[in-house]
Structure 1
Amino acid sequence: MAPDLQTRPAPEAADHPDRSTAIIRVGRAARPHWPWVLLTVVTTALVLVPVIPLQWQAWSDGADGMRRLVGMSDLQNVAVNTLTLGIGALVVGMVLGTVLALASYSMRPRLRKKLEFLPVLPMVVPSVAHVVGFVFLFSPENGYANTLLRATPFFDGASGPINVYTFEWIVVYTGTHLAAFVYLFVYTGLRNLGSDYALAARVNGAGPVRALFTITLPLLRPTLVYSSVVVFLLALGQFTGPLLLGRREGLDVVTTKMYTLSAEYPVDYQLASALGTPLLLLAIFLVIFQTRSLANQNRFVGQGASSLDNRQLTSTGSAVSACIVLAYTTIAAFLPLLAIAFVGLSPYWSGTPSFGAMTTEHFSAVLNDPQILQAVTTTLTVSLTGVAIVIPLGMLISLAIYNRDRMWRPVPAVLDLMANMPLTVPAALLGFGFLFAFSHPGIGLYGSQTSMIIAYVTIMLPYSVRYQLATIMSLGRPTLEASQVSGAHPLRTFFQVLLPLARAGIASSAAIVFVLLTHEFGVSLLLRGPTTKVLSVVLFDEYGGGTYAQVAVIALLMTVVTGLGVALAMAFGGRRALERL
């Protein structure tokens, strides 16, 4: 007799009943949360757009790019330079940033209130303008600082004594700039730590140095580990400094070598992608190391019970601490800006400022240049559009992460991972990933404003989420829950309760993101088109052409735009808004 096919269960269903049940259960669980699932899919796709093409090119055609990478003639020099820059800048940045944080914390309250924000100023100056300022100061032939040093009895000759184009000084410059990041982390950690534990050690006979090394620094271990990993990743992914300073001496790191390969025609996508793969793997390893090192943070809880700063701070120690902060800020922020201003007001860059020959003709030339005016328009357009997209997107992701106990479990976990991934990958690598993705014939976005906006949204996503999640957490649950208990729909609670209460934090976050986008150089350089250039790219082109007076004026223009963004951020978020940089 023929078997009854209609009554026989399907083989897969009969053999795997649990699988079918699990699929149905997952579908039912996800159904009420489909908007958040859609948000997760969009966020994941946005973040993986630059990462997947980068690795696809490196491992395609039988890993041809990786094989040729092993045989690259200057691979050893590039790898050594990259690691040396990372380690050297890490040491300089961590030591200098920690000293600055301890100095600010050791000032008397009135003086501290006036000076504590100064070490953050180097982060406010756009990166391209900051590098150019150091060139105007420490170029071996015409640098203003070198000219002044040669006028002293201690130095002579036609050049030097400092050559900012050498690898050693590139390391010093990078570490000095990154010290501002370390300062933010460590200074915030010191304020949260309180003074009770150090005072208890002093009462029991420990001197200030012993209390520092046995009490304060061990309790700051989570902050020090986190900041060291972040700074090391930033140092490994440095692009602006090595590109502008290292090209004269032919010094290459991974990011500048990738740029050289991408600038040649035809572009060797496979080799360029393979060159960035070790850096990507190292970044993942460092993030895992960071997570495991801080796994049990309860060992380092050190919040003092007293809310008052009852330390006995001497006037001498406070004055010395203030001098340290002022010296760093002068060298890292004020002098570069002053050098830029002198070059912009001088007929030409000679290394010796002449007050009688100052002119504003370069300002008139720049402000009447159609290319520069178009760059200003492009900068404002792509930056403001990026802010308009990434702030609402970051708010939705923040809400999902904040309400993880009410979400379908995979949603907040995936969103949290994807939203933080751009922080773990050096920005220059993301830029190359976007370059490879948008250059594909099927996409065709390379050189357009759309490509820059997508890239800007991706690299700013972690900042948007972090800032707005902090704003939501500061509001607390009771206010939002009271609205819902009173019968308000979640959407009504969002628009009539959450947004009004969080508007200052959202506005401050938007201003900070705008500042960071106007600084952006690496991604913008790689995605620029003939008619799509932002100010930082135009400055780079002018610098390469040797028109230093125009370079100085453009750098000042970028600084003014940044200053307006910072002023708005401080207007909405107060003085603490600078800590978000």
Structure 2
Amino acid sequence: MSQTKYGRSAISEGLRRNRPSDQEALEDGQAHRRRNWLRSTSPQLRWGLLAILFVILIAWPLVRLQLAGLSDGGSAFHRVFATPGIGQVFANTFIIALGSVAVATVCGVGLAWSVYRSPSRIRGWISMLPIIPLMIPAVASISGYVYLFSPKVGLINQWLREFGVGSGTSGPLDVYSMTGIVFVTGFSLTSFVYLFVNASLQQRGSEFEMAAATCGANPLRVFFTVTLPLLRPAIVYSAGITFLLESGSSRHLCCWGHRTTSMLSRR
């Protein structure tokens, strides 16, 4: 009888200890009501709140900026477009941005696919290598490219001339040319493309590639007919992001100095 009484008292004591206090019950009830309010809110209301935030934080400052530029009759825009050589500046900006996006897209997709197809035992640490350039300052990155590919004193150019590639005391590679700028900026943007494409590869399975390989398709055909179409949204999104980044960025060109091509971001 005493054991039964002791057991009942122990159970009662355990229930009392596990029972939430009034404050905890009140907090749980408030959190539950907040979750229910978010779930019960209509999608139209949520999209409306998002649109209001967009107008307040993004659209309105841009409109005010444009109105300030037109406050004196648009003379500021007239001075900009009347600048000698402004057409060439626009053309250089578009060419460099488009070429850099092409280089970054090819390199980023290739790196992401190579990491995805690498053995699982090394995939963890090797997947971190393509994002290391994001941690390197632009000054250090450009200084390295100039040290390697400067027309006269670049280390690789000196080696190439010793092996008979090129002639004279300059070249054959020129980091200050339009082609050099496109490749260097493209390599610097490769990490952004890699991040987006690699995330897309990790989120989906490999069933389609396995099915194509089972049907007799070689790896190259699987890549171009199955993998690339599945990666199209990620590739388009990353290409758009890198195009905007390069169009408005001047960090690399400022590090090159006055010897580089004129772009809008330097005007």
Q: CA–CA distance in 1 between the matches of 2:199 and 2:148? A: 32
Q: CA–CA distance in 2 between the matches of 1:99 and 1:66? A: 42
2:54 pairs with 1:61: no
Q: Is the 8 A contact 2:108 2:194 kept in 1?
A: yes
Aligned to 1:221: 232
2:136 pairs with 1:125: yes
Aligned to 2:118: 107
Relative to 1, partners in 2 of residues 1:57 and 1:158: Cα closer, same or farther, differing over 3 Å? farther
Q: CA–CA distance in 1 between the matches of 2:144 and 2:65? A: 33
Tell me which of 246, 252, 255 is aligned to 1:235.
246
Q: CA–CA distance in 1 between the matches of 2:227 and 2:178? A: 34
Relative to 1, partners in 2 of residues 1:108 and 1:120: Cα closer, same or farther, differing over 3 Å? same
Q: CA–CA distance in 2 between the matches of 1:115 and 1:210? A: 25
Aligned to 2:210: 199
2:137 pairs with 1:97: no
The Cα shift of 1:173 comes to 0.5
> Any stretches of 5+ residues in structure 1 without a counterpart?
1-36, 258-581
2:198 pairs with 1:187: yes
Q: Is the 8 A contact 2:213 2:222 kept in 1?
A: yes
The Cα shift of 1:151 comes to 2.6
2:241 pairs with 1:253: no
Relative to 1, partners in 2 of residues 1:246 and 1:84: Cα closer, same or farther, differing over 3 Å? farther
Relative to 1, partners in 2 of residues 1:62 and 1:134: Cα closer, same or farther, differing over 3 Å? same
The Cα shift of 1:205 comes to 2.7
2:208 pairs with 1:208: no
The Cα shift of 1:74 comes to 1.1
Relative to 1, partners in 2 of residues 1:111 and 1:155: Cα closer, same or farther, differing over 3 Å? farther
Q: Is the 8 A contact 1:96 1:179 kept in 2?
A: yes
What is the aligned residue count? 216
Letter aligned with residue 255 of structure 1? S
Q: CA–CA distance in 2 between the matches of 1:55 and 1:170? A: 31
Q: CA–CA distance in 2 between the matches of 1:48 and 1:144? A: 49
Tell me which of 244, 252, 256 is aligned to 2:255.
244
Q: CA–CA distance in 1 between the matches of 2:222 and 2:176? A: 41
Aligned to 1:140: 151
Q: Deviations over 1:249-290 (max 9, x none)?
A: 4x2111101xxxxxxxxxxxxxxxxxxxxxxxxxxxxxxxxx
The Cα shift of 1:105 comes to 1.4
Q: CA–CA distance in 1 between the matches of 2:255 and 2:156? A: 19
Q: CA–CA distance in 2 between the matches of 1:100 and 1:66? A: 43
Identical amino acids, percent of aligned pairs:
37
For 1:432-511, list aligned pairs within 5 A: none
Question: C-alpha root-mean-square deviation of aligned residues, in Å?
Answer: 2.4
Q: Is the 8 A contact 1:97 1:180 kept in 2?
A: yes
Q: Deviations over 1:523-580 (max 9, x none)?
A: xxxxxxxxxxxxxxxxxxxxxxxxxxxxxxxxxxxxxxxxxxxxxxxxxxxxxxxxxx
Aligned to 1:162: 173
Aligned to 1:495: none
Farther-moved stretch of structure 1 (97-106 vs 130-139): 130-139
The Cα shift of 1:216 comes to 1.4
Q: Is the 8 A contact 2:100 2:185 kept in 1?
A: yes
Letter aligned with residue 187 of structure 1? N
For 1:351-370, list aligned pairs within 5 A: none
Q: Is the 8 A contact 1:166 1:246 kept in 2?
A: no
Q: Is the 8 A contact 1:79 1:253 kept in 2?
A: yes
Q: CA–CA distance in 2 between the matches of 1:53 and 1:167? A: 36
Normalised TM-score (structure 1) = 0.35
Secondary structure of 1:137's match? Answer: helix
Q: CA–CA distance in 2 between the matches of 1:72 and 1:137? A: 35
Q: Deviations over 1:52-76 (max 9, x none)?
A: 5642443221112223333332111
Q: Is the 8 A contact 1:186 1:223 kept in 2?
A: yes
Secondary structure of 2:133's match? Answer: helix
Q: Is the 8 A contact 2:97 2:247 kept in 1?
A: yes
Tell me which of 81, 95, 98 is aligned to 1:70.
81
Secondary structure of 1:121's match? Answer: helix
Q: Is the 8 A contact 2:201 2:231 kept in 1?
A: yes
Q: Is the 8 A contact 2:104 2:187 kept in 1?
A: yes
Q: Is the 8 A contact 1:90 1:231 kept in 2?
A: yes
Q: Deviations over 1:470-495 (max 9, x none)?
A: xxxxxxxxxxxxxxxxxxxxxxxxxx
Letter aligned with residue 238 of structure 1? S
For 1:329-478, list aligned pairs within 5 A: none
The Cα shift of 1:224 comes to 1.1
Q: Is the 8 A contact 1:165 1:246 kept in 2?
A: no
Q: Deviations over 1:156-198 (max 9, x none)?
A: 4212222111122111101111111111111121111211111
Q: Is the 8 A contact 1:167 1:246 kept in 2?
A: no
Q: Is the 8 A contact 1:139 1:164 kept in 2?
A: yes
Normalised TM-score (structure 2) = 0.73
Aligned to 1:443: none
Q: Is the 8 A contact 1:246 1:252 kept in 2?
A: no
Q: CA–CA distance in 1 between the matches of 2:66 and 2:114? A: 44
Q: Is the 8 A contact 1:91 1:175 kept in 2?
A: yes
Relative to 1, partners in 2 of residues 1:55 and 1:207: Cα closer, same or farther, differing over 3 Å? same
Q: Deviations over 1:354-388 (max 9, x none)?
A: xxxxxxxxxxxxxxxxxxxxxxxxxxxxxxxxxxx
The Cα shift of 1:50 comes to 6.6
The Cα shift of 1:239 comes to 0.3
Q: CA–CA distance in 2 between the matches of 1:105 and 1:77? A: 41
